[in-house]
Amino acid sequence: MSEPPAPIADDREFELAGMPMRFGKYTLIRKLATGGMAELFLAIQKSVAGFEKLIVIKRILPPLNQDQAFVDMLLHEARVAATLSHPNIVQIFDVGQVDGQFFIAMEHVHGEDLRSIVRQMKKRSIVEFPLEHALAIVLGMCAGLAYAHERRDLDGTPLNIVHRDISPQNVVVTFSGDVKIVDFGIAKSDTRLGEQTKSGKLKGKVPYMSPEQARGEAVDARSDIFSTGVMLFELTTGKRLFKGASEYETLKLICEREYPRPSEVRGDYPAELETIVMRALSKERADRFQTAREMQAALETFIRNDQIAVSNVALHQFMQTLFEERLAAQKEALLQGKALADIIEMQHALTASADTNDVDASGQRLLASATQSMPAAARTVTELEIPARRRRNLLAIGGAALAFAVLAGGGALLATQRTATSGAETTETARARASLAIESDPPGASIWINGDLRPEVTPATVTQLPIGVALDVKLTKDGFETGKRDVSLQAGETGRVKLELRRGALVLDVKVSPAEASAAFSLDGTPVVGPRIEGVTSGTPHKLVVTAPGFADQTVTVTGGALETKVIDIVLEKIAPTAPTRASHTSSHHVAPQAPPSPTAATGGSGKLNVGASNGWCNVSVDGAPRGATPVAGIELPAGPHKVSCTTPDGKSLAATVTIPGDGSTARYKFAL
């Protein structure tokens, strides 16, 4: 999940979060975003003497917790990122595991990324990014990158850290006027653990890639400098630099075309600033600034020479004015969410104290310590936005929880006036829990309660559930629609939920090009009528094979959700006349994917291969050899057919046979994810 948190769009997204809730030593307040690998939460960390700190928790999605190679990569990269401590880099505080779920705890940045800032400017009819603010932002980026690029380990060995994803989404301007680079947790360093990390599971945004990154070559700090140059060009001209009709066209713009000069976009563009921009955008690494600090020095010289009023104070005022209404709403919303989080923290502390074996001289359990570290009112403003309807619900729950906390904690506050018997009753009240028996038809469904995946599968009885609060129970099973039920339990009871899961159906809409190809389709080894294939079981992978006379067979693995229509783009490649051809068959005996001919069987000559992906990205292998993350360009191969595979971040695999021409030209293939 490489993007910074985005504001919640409506009530539904907030309702699904099931917040606040405990997560190890943290209290999750609300879900901020969900990506392909992780979900982000706004959280509070509390400790003794009223200590509290707003942070962001990045929690790895359940399937990836089972991927040991990914976990190793995550922990290694997080350890590297945690060594970075700089005002222009978001700090990582903690890396750990709670109930089998790995997480990263990082600094909470109260601000907006550049993409959100530009959108807000458009809403306010501000058509030009102020030059002084653009320069302040890029100066902050250069300072943070210089620090990271120059980092060494304790032995003095350079870490050679490269961010690889410098883009508007990963640069945040705080409401106090500071600039922060986010997601150094996905940065690359030379101290990788294994081949899996070398092949890379993450990539940058295509329009901000350097030419060498776009070609799939090794990158160094100068790749980040190129990306910074792209952003400097766009902030100061108001125009996108690389924007093709497709990822492949954008790739060509970066790797093959001449770049426009800023003065061609704006006639009054400062000549000295244009020199800086074009040097950062040099196609050859040796012609760029060799360090981010060198680029920072050039910008500072230009600012002095032109007497531009670059100031963090001015940037602070700009942000405050631009987001004035949002800031007011956020402040009020935080106080509401924070109050409920405090109540939940108090409940947790009281329950934990009830479970402890600590007793005083008279044999009473010690509860006083549970109240000593309870925090006061909210002290921090954040970008928490709770819709009005949800806020009312939270306050209602909070009132009930507060009453419970007062009753449960009363024995501690008035211990000198209570008997041992009343103290025992207080302890039992704090520990009151209920159970829930959950069944599904068919059985074997995963159980989610208030957004958390449980270790049990149906049928199962879940114990130690809270009483008197709404529980959102969700059941999921591959190939079936999600079942949902809201329940509320009373002390001592065993509630029951039984849900019938409807089998889901997926529709595949296959778009084949070239249009003149007479395509036949097979799904999981069985011929089907296409190009629109209906009644496909959802939630499970299916192998789709497309064949046509005179073209190489194309095989993709496809997975979709219940009631989803999934569009699949298939580009057929003509078989070279000198290459072995295969007849098109529609019987299940012949449509199964076949092993590609060995590259050594090529008919002579060589060519190049470009591989892209739509609707996402994947790791590419050609004839079993890893080639990096899409887009990959300029792969030199012998003429003839080659097996190209594509593995997505969640482990799905697609494959195709692509024929390389022998005349030195380039074959292109795009996977539809």
Tens digits of residue pLDDT in 295-310:
999 999 999 999 999 9
What mean pLDDT is reported for the chain? 75
In this structure, is residue 206 part of a structural domain?
yes
- With a cut of 80, say whether residue 656 has pLDDT above it: yes
Do 36 and 120 lie in a common domain? Answer: yes
Indicate the range of 64-68, 265-269, 492-496, 658-662 predicted with least confidence. 64-68
**pLDDT band for position 328 (cuts 50, 70, 90):** low
Distance CA 657, CA 649 (A): 22
Kindly report whether the peptide bond that precedes residue 631 is cis, defined as omega within 30 degrees of 0: yes
Residues 482-535 pLDDT 10s: 788 989 988 878 899 999 887 767 788 899 988 877 888 888 777 888 888 887
Do 346 and 206 lie in a common domain? Answer: no
Indicate the range of 55-59, 501-505, 570-574, 638-642 predicted with least confidence. 501-505
In this structure, is residue 38 part of a structural domain?
yes
Distance CA 375, CA 182 (A): 29
- With a cut of 50, say whether residue 6 has pLDDT above it: no
**pLDDT band for position 276 (cuts 50, 70, 90):** very high
Do 462 and 557 lie in a common domain? Answer: no
CATH number of the domain enclosing 75: 1.10.510.10
Reported pTM? 0.51
C-alpha dist (Å) from residue 464 to 72, 104, 156, 305, 350: 33, 27, 51, 68, 15
Distance CA 397, CA 391 (A): 10
Do 99 and 118 lie in a common domain? Answer: yes
Average pLDDT over residues 277-291: 96
- With a cut of 80, say whether residue 239 has pLDDT above it: yes
For residues 666 and 609, is the Cβ–Cβ distance under 8 A? yes
User: What residues contact 129, with CB distance under 8 A and at least 6 apart?
Assistant: 118, 121, 235, 236, 238
**pLDDT band for position 346 (cuts 50, 70, 90):** low
Quote the pLDDT of residue 76. Answer: 75
- Range of the structural domain that residue 366 is part of: 324-430
Within 13 A of 461's CA, how many CA atoms are on the CB side? Answer: 8
Closest CA to 411 of 431, 401, 425, 399: 425
Percent of the chain with pLDDT over 90: 25
C-alpha dist (Å) from residue 342 to 43, 128, 200, 332: 12, 43, 41, 16
Spot the catalytic one: 99, 113, 155, 165: 165
CATH number of the domain enclosing 473: 2.60.40.1120
Which helix (H) or strand (E) segment holds residue 251: the answer is: helix 247-255
Which helix (H) or strand (E) segment holds residue 272: the answer is: helix 271-280
**pLDDT band for position 185 (cuts 50, 70, 90):** low
Q: Please tell me which residue, 599 or 463, carries the higher pLDDT value.
A: 463
Do 420 and 443 lie in a common domain? Answer: no
Q: Which residues pair with 158 in a beta bridge?
A: 152
Do 185 and 249 lie in a common domain? Answer: yes
Domain boundary among 430, 455, 477: 430
Quote the pLDDT of residue 335. Answer: 55
Residues 33-78 pLDDT 10s: 887 778 888 898 877 666 678 899 998 888 787 888 878 877 777 7
**pLDDT band for position 279 (cuts 50, 70, 90):** very high
- With a cut of 90, say whether residue 117 has pLDDT above it: yes
Tokens of 651: 């482990």
In this structure, is residue 303 part of a structural domain?
yes
**pLDDT band for position 370 (cuts 50, 70, 90):** very low
**pLDDT band for position 432 (cuts 50, 70, 90):** low
For residues 119 and 187, is the Cβ–Cβ distance under 8 A? no
**pLDDT band for position 576 (cuts 50, 70, 90):** low
Percent of the chain with pLDDT over 70: 72
Do 34 and 49 lie in a common domain? Answer: yes
CB-count exposure of residue 26 (10 Å: 0-12, 13-18, 19+)? buried
In this structure, is residue 505 part of a structural domain?
no
Do 88 and 113 lie in a common domain? Answer: yes
Do 492 and 521 lie in a common domain? Answer: no
Do 163 and 293 lie in a common domain? Answer: yes
In this structure, is residue 506 part of a structural domain?
no
Quote the pLDDT of residue 50. Answer: 63
CB crowding 455-470: b at 16 or more within 10 Å, else e: eeebebebeebbeeee
In this structure, is residue 383 part of a structural domain?
yes
Going by DSSP bridges, is the β-strand pair 52-60/92-98 parallel, antiparallel, or unpaired? unpaired
**pLDDT band for position 444 (cuts 50, 70, 90):** confident
User: What residues contact 35, with CB distance under 8 A and at least 6 apart?
Assistant: 1, 2, 3
Report CA 506 to chain centroid distance, whole Å. Answer: 26
Distance CA 560, CA 567 (A): 10
Domain boundary among 398, 414, 430: 430
| DSSP codes of every residue in 35-73 | -SSEEEEEEEEE-GGG-EEEEEEEEEPHHHHT-HHHHHH
Tally DSSP H helices, then E strands, for the chain. 17, 30
Tokens of 462: 């879940």
Indicate the range of 11-20, 334-343, 426-435, 633-642 predicted with least confidence. 11-20
Quote the pLDDT of residue 504. Answer: 67
Closest CA to 639 of 548, 551, 576, 572: 576
Helix (H, G, I), strand (E, B) or coil at 265: helix
**pLDDT band for position 181 (cuts 50, 70, 90):** very high
**Which residue has 């531009």 as its token pair?**
308
Do 440 and 530 lie in a common domain? Answer: no
In this structure, is residue 2 part of a structural domain?
no
Distance CA 276, CA 173 (A): 23
Quote the pLDDT of residue 12. Answer: 34
Residues 126-157 pLDDT 10s: 888 999 999 999 999 999 999 999 998 888 88
Distance CA 591, CA 582 (A): 11
Do 160 and 45 lie in a common domain? Answer: yes
Residues 372-425 pLDDT 10s: 333 322 222 233 333 444 444 444 444 444 343 333 333 333 333 433 344 444
Distance CA 632, CA 486 (A): 47
In this structure, is residue 590 part of a structural domain?
yes
Domain count, the chain: 4
Distance CA 429, CA 404 (A): 9
Average pLDDT over residues 328-357: 52
**Which residue has 């400062």 as its token pair?**
270
Known catalytic residue at 165: yes
**Which residue has 């507060």 as its token pair?**
402
Going by DSSP bridges, is the β-strand pair 606-614/663-672 parallel, antiparallel, or unpaired? parallel
Domain boundary among 413, 430, 447: 430
- With a cut of 80, say whether residue 563 has pLDDT above it: no
For residues 666 and 610, is the Cβ–Cβ distance under 8 A? yes
Q: Please tell me which residue, 605 or 540, carries the higher pLDDT value.
A: 605
